[in-house]
Structure 1
């Protein structure tokens, strides 16, 4: 088979790869996407989207349980786990179809198979019909990442699950252990706990959601515990003893080891980049702990080879991958895009209550030498939050006392994953407290708390 020629070959069709291909197609480049599994990648098929569908089911279930709080009557709610999972898979399938349509619309050719890069500008794809050779002046690596597996804690799909097993459970856990309290761990803990699993979360760091502001972590922890979750911080799972229908976890904290029995364990201890089998070492690509080392424009140092998304390192977020995909496509087409500032990328966690943040935590800002002004506003002081029946939450803003620059914003509570974008735009526009104070926020909305938090940093809050 003769080698097919393209301007750009994208390896991986996740939120980084497929977006890079769409943008390259829009810019008139001849594009090919190679994908070994699903269009839309992990995010769309096994991550962001299906987990949100599951969490929506548990959120509705939780609201029905609270019907009396709203003056409503509902019989004792129940759920059909199979139907909940089926809905989640249906949402993912619908989105995958959307990606297929968008790639076709933008004339990006799709080849399903495993790619390797035998030499600069060459891609070899192993398909079920044989091997297809491709040539391209530009290659974009967007192969993503997978769940990290720790020795002795490996998933078996029966008693010990990764996120994939947790998304398509064959049974409802009764007594669940979640190892790791980052976004993935805490979202699954939230989902299963809401549906009635006796849930314990183990975190090796000194607090849950360790990348978040300490005050937000503490607030979230209190809410999780109120919902019946058990949180064990500064604790390591050293060993899992598996037997029929049960797992005995060895938990080490403060030099002492105790054991607890569970019927299900979900391991969510981070990710590793999919760098194997691509031929990167032979090309001379620099790797750092399973991630490709790049410059601010995602260039690998090998002419014409770029790496975007999870494979290119933190933050491991779909929206970062997509934005990098657009940036690289524009660079290849001769444009002059701005590099991405990691400090202006928001992180969102869809547990109950939701958590969202952008920029520096208060501790990081002080560590960086800033003299800070900090504002806080509680949900209980907001009419819309109280009317929604969601009075538990907090908005926190961190400013540079000298310049008024918004250094960071941190939130916990209902719908904060939607609210955070206001502060993201503010940071992108390099706004100061003055512009934010002079912005008129609509009433009654949750967003008014964002205004109040800014006012609070300067001793001007109105509703507390």
Structure 2
């Protein structure tokens, strides 16, 4: 049996980044992954969905090429080609992760990892993982099943991720999908009903609409993307309506009414006390994600599961002193970049680095990659007011930004929420072209506790989309220069 300083269960963006940081700090490290390196983000989430979104965006742009002075006839969607491009990008990035494991001399075990022994006493190891059904030590993502392999650990990091949450009571039918199954669709449906108007639902709605599907969203909350600032939700609803994407907010799906056959899906929803029948070729359920806390022997440790996720302290340590947990499995902001930072924090905590701690949610940028894009960091205006702040707000439209007009995408705005007394930036909220690419500036302002005037006086290059941040920051003091 091989012994390791650190063993990591799960090879997603939390797990493999944690493994690299452990190797950098001189720890003998092993990573166990039951499917493919890169995890949900690379194979079923971030990368494949954003690849499809890019194709959808380009398809939509080509259809209106005449507005750019370009005559293009016979523009058609080759969805098979779209899927092939997606698969190629995923394979390239997976190969990159495998290279990083070899470069950092991290042993990769392919198969199901289960904690078969755990103890808090010191010694040669504090627990044992048994790996079954994979290619064994150093195995790639696929291979002939090998005999079970046991590895010992001093410290364990659980990075088992999450899976799409399902609605109880729905019939089993291929036309009723989660985002996992939707990625495997071989053709764009003529119509689709999307249950859930959060980030995932909005992205799929935008993508499939651009590909030509008739889209209806059913959202139980009173607005789309309910965790975002209310002004952003209203703008998104307006732009979706302009694209003929139907959004029923404050509407509840009645699971017992759902039926599916070889031609489509029929459901009933309740809104304002009235029932409405809806039909579509397919239905996508996007109501959040459930943490993977079962099936790998966590119960053999002292770690505790609370409200469906593994409970951890700010250093990502569980109630078991030799078991840490990171990423979606601990709940909170279930984002790939959060998982990566938590992985680094866990490893640095194991190694005794004093600054090791999980990221502050107020400093974490959040992104939605539909058309238009959404990005935010910090408090919404209402959350700031509820938190006792007296706030000032700056808001600037992309219609006054030259680069946005050049791109032909001038809908949307940037909104800044700042403390009226100190000028401290409390939150930044964006909706518009490519905002996910420059939300990082706002996140940096949050991290260093900058004031709106400090960011507003910073020189932004012209013409760029990012100069809108400076204008919105100045706008909080009614000093915007561009409108």
TM-score (norm 2): 0.94
1:424-439 alignment, distance < 5 Å: 424-439=443-458
1:123 aligns with 2:129: yes
Q: CA deviation at 1:154?
A: 5.8
Q: Which of the numbers 157, 161, 167 marks the counterpart of 1:144?
A: 161
In structure 1, C-alpha distance between the alignment counterparts of 2:284 and 2:197, rounded to whole Å:
11
Pairwise CA distance, 1:12: 0.1
Q: Which moved more, 1:145-154 or 1:270-279?
A: 145-154
Matches of 1:310 and 1:353, distance apart in 2: 26
Correspondences of 1:235-314 after superposition (within 5 Å): 235-239=251-255, 240-314=258-332
What's the counterpart of residue 326 of structure 1? 344
Per-residue deviation at 1:452? 0.6
The corresponding residue for 1:208 is 224
- The offset of 1:355, in angstroms, is 0.3
Report Cα offsets for 1:306-349 as digits up to 9, x if no partner: 00000011100000000111121222223223421111001000
State the partner residue of 2:406.
Answer: 387
- Cα deviation for residue 255 of structure 1 reads 1.9
Residue by residue, what CA displacement relative to the aligned partner does 1:228-263 show, whole Å, maximum 9, x if unpaired?
Answer: 100000111112111221111111112222211111
Contact residue 349 and residue 356 of structure 2 kept, 8 A: no
TM-superposed deviation, 1:395: 0.2
The whole-number CA distance in structure 2 between the counterparts of 1:106 and 1:351 is 36
- Matched residues in 2 for 1:289 and 1:154: separation? 26
Report how many aligned residue pairs link the two structures. Answer: 461
The answer to whether the 8 A contact 2:171-2:260 is kept is: no
Q: Please give the alpha-carbon distance, in whole angstroms, between the structure 2 residues aligned to 1:242 and 1:113.
A: 35
Cα distance in 2, alignment partners of residues 325 and 83 from structure 1: 36
> Residues of 1 paired with 2:65 and 2:271: CA distance?
40
1:161 aligns with 2:177: yes
Q: Is the 8 A contact 1:33 1:108 kept in 2?
A: yes
The yes-or-no answer on 1:316 pairing with 2:334 is: yes
Range that drifts further, 271-280 or 6-15: 271-280
Q: Secondary structure at 2:36's aligned position in 1? A: coil
Change in CA separation of 1:89 and 1:43 when aligned onto 2, cut-off 3 Å? same
- Unaligned 5+ segments in structure 1 are none
Pair 1:417 & 2:436 matched: yes
How far residue 76 of structure 1 moved from its aligned partner, in angstroms, is: 3.3
Q: Distance in 1 between matches of 2:170 and 2:181?
A: 14
Corresponding residue SS for 1:250: strand
State the shift of 1:155 in Å.
5.8
Query: Where in structure 1 do 4 or more consecutive aligned residues deviate above 6 Å?
Result: none
SS for the counterpart of 1:113 is strand
Alignment-derived partner of residue 369 in structure 1: 388
What is the alpha-carbon distance in structure 1 between the residues aligned to residue 452 and residue 115 of structure 2?
49
Is 1:448 the counterpart of 2:467? The answer is yes
Answer yes or no: is the 8 Å Cα contact 1:166–1:188 preserved in 2.
no
Judge conservation of contact 1:155–1:162 (CA < 8 Å) in 2: no
Q: Deviations over 1:369-420 (max 9, x none)?
A: 1000110000001111112111101100000112211100000000000111
Q: Which of 328, 343, 361 in structure 2 is aligned with 1:342?
A: 361
The answer as to 2:27 corresponding to 1:29 is yes
2:123 counterpart residue number: none
Query: Out of 349, 373, 376, which is 1:354 matched to?
Result: 373
Q: Which residue in 2 is equivalent to 1:400?
A: 419
Q: Secondary structure at the match of 2:416?
A: strand
Root mean square deviation, CA, Å: 1.2
What residue is the counterpart of 1:46 in the other structure? 44
Q: Scaled by the length of structure 1, what TM-score is found? A: 0.97
Shift of 1:264: 0.4
Q: CA offset at residue 366 of structure 1?
A: 0.5
Mean CA deviation greater in 408-417 or 132-141: 132-141
How far did 1:152 drift? 2.4
- Give, in whole Å, the separation in 1 of the partners of 2:353 and 2:61: 49
3-state DSSP class of the match of 1:51?
helix
How far apart in 1 are the matches of 2:181 and 2:337?
Answer: 24
- TM-superposed deviation, 1:191: 0.8
Instruction: Say whether the 8 Å CA contact 2:194–2:283 is kept in structure 1.
Output: yes
CA distance in 2, matches of 1:151, 1:14: 27
